Structure 1
Amino acid sequence: MKLKQFAFLIAAFLPATAIGASERLSIDVVVANPDGSVSVDRTSSWPDFNGGIVDVTQRLKQDDFGRLSYRYEDQSRATQLYHQAYCESMEMTPSSGTMTLSGPSTGWSCYSDDPAPPADPVNSIDWATATAPSGRVPVGQNIFPIGSGSWESSIGGMRRSTLSVDNGRCIAQEIDHYAGPFRGRTQFGVNCYFSQSKFANTMMETCIPKQCATNRGTIFAQ
Structure 2
Amino acid sequence: ATPLKVLDAEAAKEELEPVKLDSEPVSPDFDPFKARELEHPVSNCATLTHLLKSSLGTGILSMPAAFKASGLWLGVFITVMVSVICTYCAYVLVQCAHKLYRKSGKTSMTYAEVAEEACLRGPSWSRKYGYVARQIVLWGIFATYFTASSCYTVIVAENFNYVIVQYTGPFSTRITIAALFLPLLCIAYVPNLKYLAPVSMVANICMGVGLVITCYYLLMDIP
Is TM-score (shorter-chain normalized) higher than 0.5? no
**TM-score, normalising length: structure 2:** 0.21
Higher relative contact order by CA 8 Å / sep ≥ 6: 1 or 2? 2
**TM-score, normalising length: structure 1:** 0.21
**Could you say which structure has the larger radius of gyration?**
2
Answer 1 or 2: which has greater strand percent: 1
Answer 1 or 2: which has greater helix percent: 2
